[in-house]
Chains A and B, each alone.
Chain A
């Protein structure tokens, strides 16, 4: 009798954990997630150890614009998320040694960190495919004294009214 209640508890616990994991996974895949930024490449906009809320809707709706700060998979290390600013989308002129034509190629974006001397970005590995852009950083929630919108455009706004740069 004792054993069967123990087993039932274990089963309940496993089921609850699995359900929680599934819901959390779907939420982070389709809605948004918390990003803990590390590294100096976006200093001073985003500093080492900042916690930022990021959303996936604008990427899903194809509404990522030049000037947005996005999380992007590192094309050279497939599990690493980079945090950079979009400098140019396809067809925009960008001058860089990586772009012999002077324009960003079809289906690609050009990324750059705000801290030019130390950032490793499109100036080193070239423009990245748009499909690698995963999330748009929207709201800094930690540290509290610098908390606030990183980008005050909503994901459905197509007009650019970004002031906090």
Chain B
């Protein structure tokens, strides 16, 4: 009897946490240095890398300058964090091929890392569909001395 009740309560509690993560937001760690100097994710120890809070509200129709996480269009198991630099109907010139003038299709973003030395972004794989976006980085929550709001 007691174990059954505990199982039910645990399941409902787990569902509540998952729903909160899906609907409101969740923390995540930055890995890799493509967003330096804004986000620090290149350190070997996890406690020296940044944690960000990802909000899952208002993901669509983001303006340029917003930092978003999205699933890589080339690999569904990889999540990238980049900055929106252009939105639908704008025209961009990829850095590697400035003559390939691209008009960003409807519902897509042009995502770029902040670090020009080290990045793997829309210059490599083209515009990213807004449906791939998973979260919007709003705050750096760890380490404490870097605590800050991220946009606007």
Contacts and interface: CB of A to CB of B under 8 A. Distances in A.
Interface of A: 18-19, 21-23, 25-26, 29, 73-79, 105-108, 125, 128-132
A76 B106 contact: yes
A77 B88 CA distance: 11
A134 B103 CA distance: 27
Contacts of B130: 78
Contacts of B19: 21-22, 25-26
B60 to A, nearest CB: 5
Given A106-B75, A107-B76, A130-B76, 6 more contacts: A18-B16, A107-B73, A125-B105, A129-B129, A131-B132, A132-B132
Contacts of A74: 107, 131
Nearest to A74: B131
A132 B14 CA distance: 25
B29 interface: no
B12 A78 contact: no
A78 B15 contact: no
Which of B22, B72, B129 neighbours the largest number of chain A CB atoms within 10 Å of its CB? B129
A77 B107 contact: yes
Interface string B1-36: 000000000011011101100110000000000000
Contacts of B22: 25, 29
Nearest to A27: B15
B105 A78 contact: no
Contact of B72 (A29, A107, A132): A107
Contact of A132 (B11, B23, B131): B131
Nearest to B12: A19
B129 A75 contact: yes
Contacts of A132: 129, 131-132
B131 A107 contact: no
B105 A76 contact: yes
B60 A79 contact: yes
A131 B131 CA distance: 9
Interface string B86-106: 000000000000000000011
